[in-house]
Structure 1
Amino acid sequence: MTVSRETVFGERLPLAERYAELLATSGVERGLIGPREVDRLWERHLFNCAAPVPRVPEGARVADVGSGAGLPGLVWAIARPDLHVTLIEPLLRRTTWLEEVVADLGLEGKVTVVRARAEEVDQTFDVVTSRAVAALDKLARWCMPLVKPGGLMLALKGRSAAEEVETARATLARLKAGDIVVATYGHRWDLEVPTTLVEVQRRQ
């Protein structure tokens, strides 16, 4: 790993380090993250989530669907204080932990935790994101209705992203998808595994 934590998070590094500490302790104890992930928290999780942050428009209202341990939503809120992030998660034990972390990090004014399934949320956002939640076909049905016209769905995906896009094309078209791009981020940091992002613009 050649990139430094400070290069990625700058003056927000103390917040990122505290979040990583919480993930590695209470996050593991309460089943938010697997114990085997602790040794690779930075490279595989925090850096992976932070890599596509430049794609998020300035001052955007962001929703993280199926937020789990706050990846990527909390990472984005730490890296980008201009964003307003809503963490959407249906499980009580996860939302309780997320609320505790948001308070610990002093992000109450910028991050909101909502205990709900995506289909129960009745607002729209500039950007809707998710990571390791579901196949794109299913994910689009949850996320695209939350994207305001002209907004973006930014789904963090693995190597099968292009295949998932082909499988989901009919669903995406029905959900008013416009341009669809599969892009990778993290090359500037020389990440071992660059972050693959499916970027879907919702038509006006």
Structure 2
Amino acid sequence: MTDSRARTPDRAGADLPARFEEALLSLRAAARPRGLVLDEVPAPRGLAPFAAALTAETTETQAGTPLASGRFVVLHDPGGQAAWDGDFRLVIMARARVDAEVGTDPVLGAAAWSWLSEALDHQGAGHRALVGTVTRVLSETFGGLELTDACAHAEVRASWSPISPDLGPHLAAWYELLHVAAGHEPEQATALLLTGLSR
């Protein structure tokens, strides 16, 4: 029997709380972005009675590695949790490669955090209790004793409580964060509208 505590969107059923099912359906209804490959993955266990998760990465790559990638997790506890200030919590991660020079810039952390806060505002994703961290990692590759390559990554990890089960705007904000982290304009996250074609 499948553990109902870790349901993914394609397994929504009658045994799920109505509010959680509503939230999952709002994710399905959200417009799919350009330039991102999405995948449903097993949700983390033990954080909430019900959970679902998605991953994404940019189709654009550098040296075979996506410019940005991340994870979007929906947590739901019908009884609510005091730390959440509600019955839903969203947990996201976005990771992007940046120039080594940018990676050492002291304002990178504040800039990367603004990518998220501005994306939430831009998409009209009502939220409260937003917290998170920005981490920078500098990687150096050596061939023998000589440095052959150096790159830096910026990683944003955050969580917040949505004000309603309509999670579409929050998913769109995460899409926007990934694109901005990859060096694209926010508008790149807007879905491509094709006239004459049904969804």
TM-score w.r.t. length of structure 1: 0.31
- Greater relative contact order (Cα < 8 A, sep 6+): 2
Q: Rg: which structure is higher?
A: 2
Greater share of helix: 1
